[in-house]
Structure 1
Amino acid sequence: MQGLNKLGTLSRHILLAAASLVMAFPFYWMVTNALKSNDEIWQTPPTLWAENPNWGQFAEAWVAAPFERYMFNSIFVAMSIIVLQVINSGMMAYALTHMKFRLKGVFTGLVLVGYMIPSTAVYLPGYILLGQMGLLDSYTGLILSNCVSVFSIFLIRQAFLQVSHEMVEAGQIDGASHFRILWTILLPLTRSSFAVLGLITFIDQYNNYFWPMLITKSQDLQLVSAGLRSFFVEGGAYGLKWPLIMAASAFTIAPLLVLFALTQKTIMQSFNMSAGASKG
């Protein structure tokens, strides 16, 4: 029996290792192509490593366009949106799960219905509203137009539903305010969900393309996705400088990989802690 358990564990590890290699291979291919010449990229059969690696192409791609500006814009906008969404979704989810008010069920239903509405359906009214407020082509417009997310509310609501209502009632009996209960009781118990929310929101906003392109015109406000497009097409790199394209793509996704590496352990630890606290 013990031998079968070891064999099963070994099989799972092998399958997970194989799946990891499959997932990591596109990133490896992108980096190695950044080191090759244009002719070497298109040669057949393709090679897994550059014959004469040219590491200078990363620096050449970096100075070929203002990528430092694009990456700063994406990181700044994404982090600002994360802060606002954590606050908004936390307060909204708390109201929907641990507060009593009239038409609570109707309001919850409206939130869930809003989750089913595609984001593209609100682009036109959102653009008109930002135009009337004078927030087009600005950091404020980029951030405020994404500061509330139905998905974020739904995610945190589901996490709050796993917390015993008796804990909230105990805090109220001790005289704690709603804000104190939210940030000192519910937030620590569900921080894994908030960590996941931050990770998903950062990836989504960092890679956001269509909406920022729609409401901004200045190159100084372009995010990474729009900046890469400008480099590919307007800069004349498309189809001509594939090593530089691969290099630019590699260092622009680097913040996402670093963020995932830094938060993966925290998310798992927080998940285990919150699960244990809920059972207790």
Structure 2
Amino acid sequence: MTERKTMPALTRHLLLVLVGAVMAFPFYWMVTSGLKTNDEIWQFPPTFWPDAPKWGNFLEAWEAAPFWRYMTNSIGVACAIAFIQVINSGMMAYALTHMKFRLKGLLTAVILLGYMVPSTAVYLPSYIVLAKLNLLDSYAGMILSNCVSVFSIFLIRQAFLQVSHEIVEAGQIDGAGHSRILWTLLIPLVRSSFAVLVLITFIEQYNNYFWPMLITKNPDLQLVSAGLRSFFVEGGAYGLKWPLIMAASSFTIAPLLLLFLLTQKTIMQSVNLSAGVNKG
């Protein structure tokens, strides 16, 4: 009986290891390609490790373009947007789940309907609004135009729906106001969902390309994606210097990998909690 249970578990773990290796391989190939020469990258059959690793490619790529500024811009903008979305998504989700007011159902339906509207459909009106507010070509324009997300509201709303309303009523009986209930009772209970929200929002905004390029023209405001494109055209010589392009791509994703490592435990708790709720 024990052997029957062990074999499926072993098979499952081997399958997960295989899937993980397949998903990690593109990152491995990107990093190792940054250590190769152009000829080694296009060599067939391919080499999985360079004969003489050129570690200087990473330094050369770093010095060829202001990647420090690109990454600082992206991290700062993404952190500000994630912070604001945590606040407004938490307050909106709390109102939709644990407060009573007229037209609550209609407001919820409108928000969920807004989730179906593609982001490109609001680019033109958003651009016009930012222009009238004199926020084009500025950090404030990039941050404020992304500070509200329907997906974030929906995600936190679903997390708050898993919390019993009796907890909220108990807080109200003790004299706690809505703000105290939200920040001291609800958010600690669903902190894993907020960690997922921060991770998703940070990755999305860190890699954002089209909208920041549309509303900013100043090279000093460029984010990582736009900076990589500029480097591809200039420093990468339109793809003729692939080792430098791969090296630049490798160190620009380092903040994303670091963020995932820091939030991995909390995210897994969120997955386990969701699984337990669905099972129940």
Say whether the fold is shared (TM-score over 0.5): yes
Partner of 1:133: 133
Question: Is contact 1:189-1:274 (8 Å) kept?
Answer: no
Q: 1:62-91 CA deviation, whole Å, 9 max, x = no partner?
A: 000000000000000000001100000000
Amino acid at match of 1:224: V
Structure 2 stretches lacking a partner, 5+ long: none
| Partner Cα distance (2:276, 2:234) in 1 | 54
Q: 1:187-229 CA deviation, whole Å, 9 max, x = no partner?
A: 0111010000000000000000000000000111000000000
**Equivalent residues in 2 for 1:31-180, closer than 5 Å:** 31-180=31-180
Structure 1 position 115, deviation (Å): 0.5
Question: Is contact 2:77-2:139 (8 Å) kept?
Answer: yes
| Partner Cα distance (1:261, 1:29) in 2 | 20
Partner of 2:185: 185
Partner SS state of residue 36, structure 2:
coil
Q: 1:44-67 CA deviation, whole Å, 9 max, x = no partner?
A: 111101011000000000000000
| Partner Cα distance (1:95, 1:37) in 2 | 57
TM-score by length of 1: 0.96
Partner of 2:9: 9
Amino acid at match of 1:13: H
Count matched residues. Answer: 279
Question: Is contact 1:192-1:274 (8 Å) kept?
Answer: no
| Partner Cα distance (2:136, 2:236) in 1 | 28
| Partner Cα distance (1:152, 1:270) in 2 | 15
Structure 1 position 269, deviation (Å): 3.6
Question: Is contact 1:191-1:274 (8 Å) kept?
Answer: no
| Partner Cα distance (2:5, 2:220) in 1 | 58
| Partner Cα distance (2:117, 2:276) in 1 | 35
| Partner Cα distance (2:195, 2:91) in 1 | 16
Structure 1 position 267, deviation (Å): 2.2
Question: Is contact 2:94-2:157 (8 Å) kept?
Answer: yes
Partner of 1:227: 227
Question: Is contact 1:81-1:146 (8 Å) kept?
Answer: yes
Q: 1:85-140 CA deviation, whole Å, 9 max, x = no partner?
A: 00000000000000011111110000000000000000000000000000000000
| Partner Cα distance (2:177, 2:28) in 1 | 51
Partner of 1:215: 215
Structure 1 position 271, deviation (Å): 5.6
